[in-house]
Amino acid sequence: MFNQPSKSLVTVPNPHPDRRYTVEMETQEFTTLCPMTGQPDFATIYIQYEPDQKLVELKSLKLYLWSYRNETSYHEDCVNRILNDFVAAAEPHYAKVVGDFTIRGGIHTKVTVEYRK
């Protein structure tokens, strides 16, 4: 079955809401389009969070990140938007998103944003 990109992050109940623990996710397949040139920008996205009552379902996260492939976005903007959408959906105790972008024009960009409840 073919899947379509989606801006929806699906959550499921956390089976251990009484315990503080860390979930770490990484994908090396993130792409977005440069607003200046229209050329693709590639990044590894790292997401770390301490869930409260909800967990983010991984396939929905994959489809959500996939939705950036046809959008123009500056590195700083898309990493902040990922964190904002993640926090809005999961309502975690803590979340951190790192976008580690490949070198473009001789410059390596790494954007880190955090949220604490």
Question: Which residues are identified as catalytic?
Answer: 34, 41
Query: Is there a binding annotation on residue 56?
Result: yes
75 is in an annotated binding site: yes
The pair phi, psi for residue 60, each rounded to 5°, is -65, -35
Is 76 marked as binding a ligand? yes
Q: Is 33 annotated as a binding residue?
A: no
Q: CA-based diameter of the chain, in Å?
A: 48
Helix (H) or strand (E) holding 63: helix 58-66
The reply, when asked if residue 61 is annotated as ligand binding, is: no
Query: With helix as H, strand as E and coil as C, how does 79-112 read?
Result: HHHHHHHHHHHHCCCEEEEEEEEEEECCEEEEEE
Q: What angle do CA 41, 115, 68 make, to 5 degrees?
A: 25
What gap in Å lies between CA 100 and CA 45, rounded to an integer?
Answer: 6
Annotated binding site for substrate, which residues?
56-58, 75-76
Annotated binding site, which residues?
56-58, 75-76
